[in-house]
Amino acid sequence: MNEKIKELLDENRTDDLQSLLEGLEPSAIAQILEDVAKEPPPAPETALGEGETAEDTRLTKLFDCLDKEVAADVFVLLNRETQQRLLKDFSDVKLQEVTDEIIDDNVEDLLDSMPTDVVHQVLLKATPENRNDKIVEIVDYLEEKKFSQLKPLLAELEPADLAEIFSELDETDLPIVFRLLPKELAAETFVEMNSSQQELLIKSFSDKELKLILDELFVDDTVDLIEEMPANVVKRILLQADSETRKEINEILKYPKDSAGSIMTTECISLRTHMTVRECFDKIRAEAVDKETIYTCYVTDDRKILLGIVTVKDLLLHAYEDTVESMMETNFVYVDTQEDKEEVANILSKYDLLSVPVVDQENRLVGIVTIDDALDVITEEATEDISYISSVTPSDRPYLETGIFRIYLHRIPWLLILMVSATFTGLILNTYESMLSTLLVACVPMIMGTGGNAGSQASVTVIRGMALDEIRPRDILQVIWKELRVSILVALSVGVVCFCKLQLIDRLLFHYDYTLLYSLAIGVAIALAVVVAKIVGCCVPLLAKAIHIDPAVFANPFITTITDVLSLLIFCGVTLGIFHLGVF
C-alpha cells in the first residue's frame, strides 16, 4: 500500500490517490503520512522553492488529497514534528478549513489531543472568528494558574482580535489575561476595548501598571479614554500622566466636542525649510517611536506656522544634501481646529489622505487628524444617522452593555412624539369619516403607507448624497426637478397597478364592490400622493441642512408623519371633491 501511494504521489495521480485512500480509517492514513515523512524522498525532477524539500512536497501532496473532515481527524493523530511541518509548509488557505474543523472539538479534547505549542499554531491558522471564540472557551476552561500557557498565543494576535476575545471574558479573568500581553501590544489592545472594560482594567491596575499603559498610548487615544471615564478614574489617569502629556491633553480637551481639534493628535513630525534630507532622517529616527504616523512630515517655521508638507517618499528620492525647501509641497489641504469632524473625515476620504494637518486661527500647526480617527468618525456618524432614521436616540455604548432603562429613555421620546403627531391624521379622518364609504376607508392604510414609503425613499437618497458631499442645500432646485420626474414615473406605475389590483383582486377575487370609477379615483389619489411625498421627502432634509439641523433627525419619523397627513388630505380631496364618491 505504502509503495503504491508513493508511486502515485511521484506521478501526481491525485484522483487515483484519493480513490485509494477512500474508506481507510484516520489512524491508517496517519500512519501512512508518518511513513512518508520518515522515508528519504527520490531526487526531485523539478525545481523546488526555497527551503522546500521533495519530502515536504510529498507529505503536503498526500495531506492535500484528504477531505477537510478526514484531514482534521488525521492531523490530531500525527506526531508533533509532522504536525509542525504541515503547519509550516501546507497552504494557509486550505489549512484554514482543516484547522476550523480541528478546533470545533470541545476544549478538553482539543488540549489533550495535541501539544500546547501545536494547539497555538492551529488556532493562529484558523479563521479569526472561530479562533477568538475558541480562545474564550479555553480561558474559561483553564484554571487561573495555567493562564500563562496562553502567553505565546496571545502575543501573536492582532489588537482588534484580542479586544474581541477580552469582551467575552469574565470580569475576574480579564485583568489576569490582560497582564500576559507584552507592553506595546497591551497598549494597542487597550485602545480597541470598550469603555466599561477599560474602566475595569484601570481599577485593577497598580499606579505603576497604569503609567506603563499611558506612556504607550498616543495623546488622542488618552483624550478619548478620559472623555468616557468617570471623574474618579479621570483624576487617577491625570495623576499618572507626565506633565507634558497632561498639557497636550488639556490642549485637546478645550476644543468643541465635534470639532477637528477634539479628534486630532499633537504627535507628528515637524521639519524646517533649511534642514537637509540627512537631518530629516536623523530627526525622524529619533522621534518616530513616539509619533502616530511618520509618512507625512509637516514643514513649519520658528513660530510653528505651517509652510508645507513633505513625505518620506520625497526624502528617499532626493540626495542627502538636498534641503526640505527644494522639495516640499506648498499647495496642500489643511483644516481649522474648529472644523466639524465629519467634514474633516470627508476631506480625508475625498483627497485619499492618510492624515491632514490641523491649524489654529493664526495658521500655526497644532496637530493632525489621521485616517484611523476619520474612520471612527464616519462609523459614529453613520450609526447616529441610522438611529435617527429608526426613531431612536443614538447611544455610545454597545447594545448588550446598555441598561434597560437607558434603552427605554432612548426610545420612548420618539414614540411619544410620533404618537402625538398622529393626532393630525386622526383629525382628518374624524372630519371626513361620515362622508367616506367603507370601501374608501379600507384604502386609507394603503394610501398612507405608500405615501410614507415614497417619501422615505427620496429622503434617504438625499441624506446619503449629503453625507457623501454629493448634494448640498444650494442644489435643491436640481433635486426637486429630478425627483419630480422620478415621482411621475413611479406615480403612473403605482396608480395603474392599484387600479388593476382593485379590479382583479378586490372585485373579482374577493367580490368587493369596487366599480371602475372607485378604482380610478383611488388610483389617481395614490399617484398624486406619491408625487407629493417624494417632493416633501427630498426637500425636508435639504431645508434641515440649510438651518444647521441634522437631516437624519427629519428623515423617517417626521417625513412619514408629514406624508401621512398630506396623502390623507389628497385622498379625501380626490375621492370626495373631484370624483364625488362620498356618502352625502
Domain tally for the chain? 3
Burial (CB count within 10 angstroms: exposed 0-12, middle 13-18, buried 19+), residue 31 = middle
Quick check: 406 pLDDT over 70? yes
Rounded Cα distance, 525 and 436, in Å: 14
546 found inside a domain: yes
Residues 190, 201: contact at Cβ < 8 Å? yes
451 found inside a domain: yes
Same domain, 367 and 312: yes
pLDDT at 583: 64
Same domain, 81 and 213: yes
Quick check: 359 pLDDT over 90? yes
pLDDT at 331: 93
Rounded Cα distance, 443 and 25, in Å: 68
Q: Residue 490 sits in which domain range? A: 422-578
Please tell me which residue, 553 or 243, carries the higher pLDDT value: 243
Q: Which 3 state secondary structure label does DSSP give 41?
A: coil
Residue type, 474: R
Quick check: 194 pLDDT over 50? yes
Residues recorded for the chain: 584
What phi, psi does 133 have (nearest 5°)?
-60, -40
Neighbours of 271 (CB within 10 A): 22
pLDDT at 584: 53
413 found inside a domain: no
pLDDT at 52: 45
473-497 pLDDT tens trace:
999 999 999 999 999 999 999 999 9
Please tell me which residue, 18 or 233, carries the higher pLDDT value: 233
What phi, psi does 403 have (nearest 5°)?
-65, 155
Same domain, 121 and 212: yes
Average pLDDT score, the chain: 86
8 found inside a domain: no
Which of 123, 110, 62 minimizes the C-alpha distance to 90? 62
CATH of the domain at 232: 1.25.60.10
Same domain, 180 and 221: yes
56 found inside a domain: no
Rounded percentage of the chain residues whose pLDDT exceeds 90: 35
Same domain, 381 and 450: no
Q: How far is CA 162 from CA 89, 133, 192, in A?
A: 26, 11, 9
**Given pLDDT bands bounded at 50, 70 and 90, which one contains residue 53?**
very low
Same domain, 288 and 146: no
CATH of the domain at 381: 3.10.580.10
Grid coordinates representing 309 are: 508638507
Laid out side by side, the sheet with 335-336 consists of: 335-336, 355-359, 365-370
Residues 473, 542: contact at Cβ < 8 Å? yes
Quick check: 247 pLDDT over 60? yes
